[in-house]
Structures are given as C-alpha cells and as structure tokens.
C-alpha cells in the first residue's frame, strides 16, 4: 500500500518512487528507494480532468491523498517533467503523450494505483518486493 505524502509516493515500509539515478532520460526506469527528498523522488499528481469542474462522482480519500477512480498522470520533478509511462510491464518516465499508458487511478477496494491501460494491473515492486524496480502486475493489494 502507498500514500501520497507531500510530493513523495511512499509505501508502507517507507520506500518512495524514484527516477533511477536521478537521470532525466526518456525511458529511465522507476524504482523504489529510501527517501532522501531529492528532486528525483518528487511527483506531482495531474488529474486528467483537472481543467474541468470537480466531478460529482468520485470522492477524495484523505488517508491516501488521492481521489478514488479519478484518472491522473504522475509527473516527475526531474528536469523535463516527464510522466510515468508503461514500457511493457515496466514503469519508466517519458515525455507526455496523453495515452492511456500514462494514466493511472487509485482503486479504493485494493488500495493500489492501477493502470488505465491495463485495469487489472497495479503498481508493484518486481520480484515480490525483493527488487527495487517498479512494474505493473496483477493486482493483489500489495506494494511491498
């Protein structure tokens, strides 16, 4: 499970989403790492419908800091402000395209961030949490 805490996305063990090595490269991997509050660990939630009035359906989950089932992008604070995108099942950063592969949403039932492009898959740490590499994987309500 995870929480949006300030501009970090933190799992239950205190690890945060991180742009690997802090490199602002197209296709750079997303990993989890100990929080150091550097720019490569800072994220902005950009809701797909943010230019429209607030939707009537969809409530804000105060405990997790996200709106339920409201699609969003995750924008990196690193240099070019690339968005998290899918490369197969791997999470990477890429220039904004607006494609569904860059859109995610908070699922209240599993308490996970799910992919709009692959609705049955959630953010996951590869190798059952024994790796630092982030991927999307069949939703099982764990984020190690």
Q: Hey, where are the domains in the chain?
A: 2-138
Residue 137 has pLDDT above 50, yes or no: yes
pTM over 0.95? The answer is no
Give CA–CA dist 109/65, Å, rounded. Answer: 15
Over residues 75-106, the pLDDT tens digits come to 999 989 999 999 999 999 999 999 999 999 99
Give CA–CA dist 129/100, Å, rounded. Answer: 26
Q: What's the CATH number for 2-138?
A: 2.80.10.50
Q: Give CA 43 to chain center in angstroms.
A: 9
Over residues 34-70, the pLDDT tens digits come to 999 899 999 998 887 764 444 344 677 777 888 889 9
């Amino acid at each position: 499970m995870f929480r949006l805490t300030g501009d970090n996305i933190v799992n239950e063990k205190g690890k945060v989403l991180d742009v690997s090595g802090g490199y602002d490269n197209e296709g750079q991997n997303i990993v989890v790492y100990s929080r150091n509050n550097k720019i490569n660990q800072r994220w902005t939630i950009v809701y797909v419908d943010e230019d429209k009035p607030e939707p009537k359906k969809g409530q804000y989950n105060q405990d997790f800091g996200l709106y339920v089932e409201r699609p969003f992008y995750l924008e990196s604070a690193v240099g070019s402000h690339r968005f998290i995108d899918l490369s197969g099942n791997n999470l990477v950063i890429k220039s904004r395209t607006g494609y569904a592969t860059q859109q995610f949403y908070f699922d209240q039932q599993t308490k996970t961030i799910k992919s709009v492009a692959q609705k049955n898959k959630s953010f996951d740490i590869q190798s059952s949490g024994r790796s630092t590499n982030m991927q999307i994987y069949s939703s099982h309500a764990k984020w190690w």
